[in-house]
Structure 1
Amino acid sequence: MGSASRIITRIGVVLTAVVVSSSPAAAGPARAPAPPQVVAFPGDAVRATYDWPLHPRPRVVRSFDKPAQNWLPGHRGVDLAAAPGQRVLAAGAGTVVFAGAVAGRPVVSVDHPGGLRTTYEPVEPSVTAGRRVGRGDLLGTVIVGHPECAATACLHWGLRRDREYLDPLPLVRAVPIRLLPTGTGQARG
């Protein structure tokens, strides 16, 4: 990996060029291409404030699969291989905003600075709502019962900003840079 790639990875910003083309049928003067769009991902500073909710570092059993719309099927978090009774730790500092059952499953939710909320389930909570926690503080223990878990037990770890579901893995590991297509590749004259 070249030094430029390392710098981009370190600052955690990916630039995506957006090409704006006009159809020949469009009326009016030609428009200039849009400036590059900056898409921010958690960088080293954010990763330094978050850690895995299970120790040792767990295996990811099922990845994040964001649905096209919030009401459609998808997987709104990641499933981490765990052992029944394994300690669940706060991924980052924040305030416990919920510790109880949702649809019959025990859940713990923690609000973090910057509008982020992490969720952990199924967890037998050892905390109550309103408690301030630091990164690595005990939230509870994993219990068996996460549906579609491909391991003995799984911790479903979720992340949201407001109502938007996000992949929690960038909080704890570097995000690979992916080049996105910028158009059809056909020149217009």
Structure 2
Amino acid sequence: MSAGSAALFHSRADAAPLQPVPEEPGRLAWPLTPRPHVTRNFEPPATPFGPGHRGVDLEAAAGQQVLAADRGVVVFAGQVAGQGVVAVDHDGGLHTTYLPIAPAVAAGDQVYRGQPLGTAAPGHPGCPTAVCLHWGARRDTEYIDPLALVGAPGRVRLKPWAEGP
């Protein structure tokens, strides 16, 4: 929960404790525009170092701009195993990765939602099209499905306390 949304809640000794809220649509924007075709879905690993697909593959065009999914700070922009990678840290322990990409940003850069990070490049293994962008998301140390975080933000409804003030 962000500091801003945490400020909306008040604690009371007799109130039920707040429960964690599932990931909400709208936290992230799509990293490609227009909305891309998903060529491979997220497949969480059964164990921390087990096999899985720790992100989604999105159909792209060579040279297509890859956009920051949200504001944050670039923590890595460079080559890993011969592929360009950009990694961004966001508020709330969220971390996103984009590859293969020709980076246009550098580590330490502040980026904003929708800002170009670089351009999509060919070479993603297992991609059924000429170019795919692998887009990953992690909250702290847990990999999560980035598709669960895109979309229109949900409506916020404030409910009154069961009893008066």
TM over 0.5: yes
- Percent of pairs with identical residues: 58
2:22 counterpart (41, 50, 56): 41
1:109 counterpart (87, 103, 109): 87
1:120 counterpart (98, 101, 106): 98
2:127 counterpart (149, 157, 182): 149
Q: Give the Cα–Cα distance (whole angstroms) in 1 for the partners of residues 82 and 130 of structure 2.
A: 20
Q: Which has the larger radius of gyration?
A: 1
State the SS of the aligned residue for 2:50: coil
Task: Tell whether 2:39 aligns with 1:58.
Answer: no
On the 8 A contact 1:93/1:135 being kept in 2, the answer is: yes
Q: Give the Cα–Cα distance (whole angstroms) in 2 for the partners of residues 69 and 142 of structure 1.
A: 30
Q: Give the Cα–Cα distance (whole angstroms) in 2 for the partners of residues 60 and 39 of structure 1.
A: 28
On the 8 A contact 2:28/2:151 being kept in 1, the answer is: no
Deviation sequence 1:97-148 (CA, Å, 0-9, x none):
0001122221000000000000000000000000001000010000000000
2:72 counterpart (94, 100, 103): 94
Query: How many aligned residue pairs are there?
Result: 137
Q: Which structure 1 segments of 5+ residues have no match?
A: 1-37, 175-189
State the SS of the aligned residue for 2:92: helix
TM-score by length of 1: 0.68
On the 8 A contact 1:41/1:170 being kept in 2, the answer is: no
CA RMSD of aligned residues (A): 2.0
1:138 counterpart (89, 98, 116): 116
On the 8 A contact 1:144/1:152 being kept in 2, the answer is: yes
1:173, distance to aligned residue in structure 2 (A): 3.0
1:39, distance to aligned residue in structure 2 (A): 5.6
Give the structure, 1 or 2, with the largest relative contact order (CA under 8 Å, sep 6 or more).
2
1:68 counterpart (5, 22, 46): 46
